[in-house]
């Protein structure tokens, strides 16, 4: 599913002009996507000069937990390496 980041969107309307299904409209100077009309062609992703359109990829709870565990391990490893380098330089 595609979403518009309102903090990045300038309301230029380029995405709305590009969308082949008319799924994008401007509301309060920001683009919005009507999900019922979006066919996931992803054209708007390439045309937005701000990179304001992003794709949300659903992840399961297990996938999220695995990612968090992996990040924790990498962080611990980095901290250990930094501590080791600090000791060597003393």
Query: How near is the Cβ of 69 to ligand SF4 at its closest, in Å?
Result: 33
Query: How near is the Cβ of 80 to ligand SF4 at its closest, in Å?
Result: 42
Distance CA 26, CA 9 (A): 10
- The verdict on 12 binding ligand SF4 (CB under 6 A) reads yes
Distance CA 18, CA 31 (A): 12
Answer for which of 1, 3, 27, 39 binds ligand SF4 (CB under 6 A) is 39
- The verdict on 25 binding ligand SF4 (CB under 6 A) reads no
- The verdict on 76 binding ligand SF4 (CB under 6 A) reads no
What CA dihedral angle connects 24, 49, 6 and 54, to 10 degrees?
Answer: 70
């Amino acid at each position: 599913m595609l979403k518009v980041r309102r903090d990045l969107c300038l309301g230029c309307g380029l995405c709305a002009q590009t969308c082949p299904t008319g799924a994008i409209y401007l509301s309060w100077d920001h683009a919005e996507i009507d999900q019922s009309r979006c066919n996931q062609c992803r054209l708007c992703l390439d045309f937005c000069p701000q990179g304001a359109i992003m794709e949300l990829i659903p992840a399961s709870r297990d996938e999220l937990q695995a990612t968090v565990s992996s990040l924790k391990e990498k962080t611990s490893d980095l901290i250990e390496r930094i501590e080791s380098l600090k000791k060597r330089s003393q």
